[in-house]
A and B are shown apart, each in its own frame.
Chain A
């Protein structure tokens, strides 16, 4: 109960801090909208005529969702950890009962709320602008949540191992952008060199994208993991990666100078 109270206090403070930064709120939601407008409405998908995006619009739904599931935790956690370090906030928090894991969990809860709202906006826009025909499955919820946990852990590591807020944001962009395009999201495996496929399989976002695709666009061919259903198998792999990333992220948060 007291652990829950600590996490709630931390999450409440973080949520209030976030919603009072109007530009941060605005651009958090604007970024995926811009991508959907560019890729979905301006460039357009053209399954029959060899357009830039050759698959049906529903194929790219995981990619659009990935813009927030990947980028928001990476940049928010990275800069938040750096901000905490610069303001000696960890030096303060380490002398309170709040543990590093609890702190990261509270941040993850706030990110999950933000990204949940952004995901709803994205799904609505994708359907409205691209005419994507997708299946709404309850499995979408755990995919988004587990993805957020995973990338919050990685974001915490970025913030811990870079030496400033600028460095954390730059690192999150440098890591996030290649992951976004090379994780079976917008670019299909067939469009990549054969030798690159093992690298695609190293990206946690790959399992998010394949799993979400299996859930929302059952007609798509999705790589299987063993003999399991792709929707469940990819979620399981993503969950394992999320636990590892969260654990490493929590451990990376500085306790001493």
Chain B
């Protein structure tokens, strides 16, 4: 693969906290790579390491074959996670300002329209809604028509319609050959946009692959959730594995054609139910499967720390 973005054995710590632990990855030309993972997993640190705004303790990163700080700035577009531009400039002025920093840039009016803010161009940034503000920020990363685009949680706070506008924009950029590296907590966003998804948990890249491959490997099977008051033991004779999840009895490995078999089982035993929900596994199941382990380990560790502190302190 022609690696446009790369990390090799990157490690970064903040005091005792390991933000990144031996992370290696590469992203090809024109590829959309989505990084998912829990809060505090190290996603933003990895974006910073890749864009050169943090120095890894060890390991190397590169963009377009060069150190991130040496790469031609005109070919790079970056949206930091907590970015807030000058708040008393209008949306139009902000895009013109960032466009003015490059030798060659897109027409700010076009970018304004692309992010769906043509009607809000004269509004000060501070008076825009949270979602509109984020769209301006996304626009600021696009004004130079970059070859490589880093978007750290680009659609946070944006309403569903606006989110789709941004998604279409990213899809168009990728179709035109732009390499996109994004982080997100929105699994639908990752599943729709990404050619490959990486899952980061506790600073480690625990899985990388196409959404389909990750779902096939880690997502589990399709399942039918039965909303019922009946006890789980009432399903013991059913030919499918069952378990109680979120207050429902979940019947696993059920294809759409087999739903009738389960319904017949329920009615044959006079088991009352108020709803049936069938679902295929998706990226969220992958996330919960892989990230939950890390979350569980972290909360168990934290609880242990709290208990130890509460019990160990003098006079408490």
Contact = CB atoms under 8 A, between A and B. Distances in A.
> Are these two chains actual partners, yes or no?
yes
Interface of A: 2, 5-6, 8-10, 12-14, 16-17, 20-21, 86-89, 91-98, 255-257
Contacts of B83: 87-89, 91-92
Given A13-B93, A256-B54, A97 B80 contact: no
Nearest to B76: A95
A9 B53 contact: no
Interface string B242-254: 0000000000000
Interface stretch (B28-36, B97-105, B204-212, B232-240): B97-105
Given A95-B77, A96-B98, A96-B144, 18 more contacts: A9-B96, A10-B101, A12-B97, A14-B86, A16-B93, A17-B89, A21-B88, A86-B84, A88-B81, A92-B79, A92-B80, A92-B83, A93-B101, A94-B52, A95-B53, A95-B73, A95-B76, A257-B54
A97 B86 contact: no
25 contacts: A6-B100, A9-B96, A9-B100, A13-B86, A16-B88, A20-B88, A87-B82, A88-B81, A89-B83, A89-B84, A89-B85, A91-B53, A92-B78, A92-B83, A93-B101, A95-B52, A95-B78, A96-B102, A96-B144, A97-B73, A97-B101, A97-B103, A256-B52, A256-B54, A256-B55
B140 interface: yes
Contacts of A16: 88-89, 93
A5 B124 CA distance: 23
B132 interface: no
Nearest to B48: A257
A8 B100 CA distance: 8
A101 to B, nearest CB: 14
Contacts of B78: 91-92, 95
Chain B at the A interface: mostly helix, strand, loop or mixed?
A: loop
A98 B105 CA distance: 14
B174 to A, nearest CB: 20
B51 interface: yes
Given A16-B93, A21-B88, A88-B82, A94 B102 contact: no
A7 to B, nearest CB: 10
Contacts of B102: 96-97
A95 B79 CA distance: 10
B51 to A, nearest CB: 6
A91 B99 CA distance: 17
Nearest to B144: A96
B74 interface: yes
B100 A17 contact: no
Going nearest first, the 5 A-B pairs with the smallest beta carbon separation are: A9-B100, A87-B84, A20-B88, A95-B78, A88-B80
B81 A98 contact: no
B110 to A, nearest CB: 18
B80 to A, nearest CB: 4
B86 A17 contact: yes
Contacts of A86: 84
Nearest to B96: A9
Interface string B49-88: 0011111000000000000010001101111111111111
B100 A255 contact: no
A74 to B, nearest CB: 20
Contacts of B144: 96
A239 B8 CA distance: 47
Nearest to B78: A95
A9 B81 CA distance: 24
A5 B101 CA distance: 7
Instruction: Count chain B CB atoms within 10 A of each CB in A2, A21, A87, A88 and give the residue with the most.
Output: A88
B97 A88 contact: no
Instruction: Count chain A CB atoms within 10 A of each CB in B53, B79, B85, B124 and give the residue with the most.
Output: B53
B84 to A, nearest CB: 4
A91 B86 contact: no
Given A94-B52, A96-B73, A257-B53, A9 B101 contact: yes
A92 B140 contact: yes
Contacts of B86: 13-14, 17, 89
Interface in B87-118: 87-89, 93-94, 96-103
Contacts of A91: 48, 53, 78, 80, 83
A184 B261 CA distance: 95
A91 B85 CA distance: 11
Nearest to A1: B103
A135 B155 CA distance: 60
B88 A17 contact: yes
A233 to B, nearest CB: 40
A97 B144 CA distance: 11
Given A89-B83, A92-B78, A95-B73, A256 B53 contact: yes
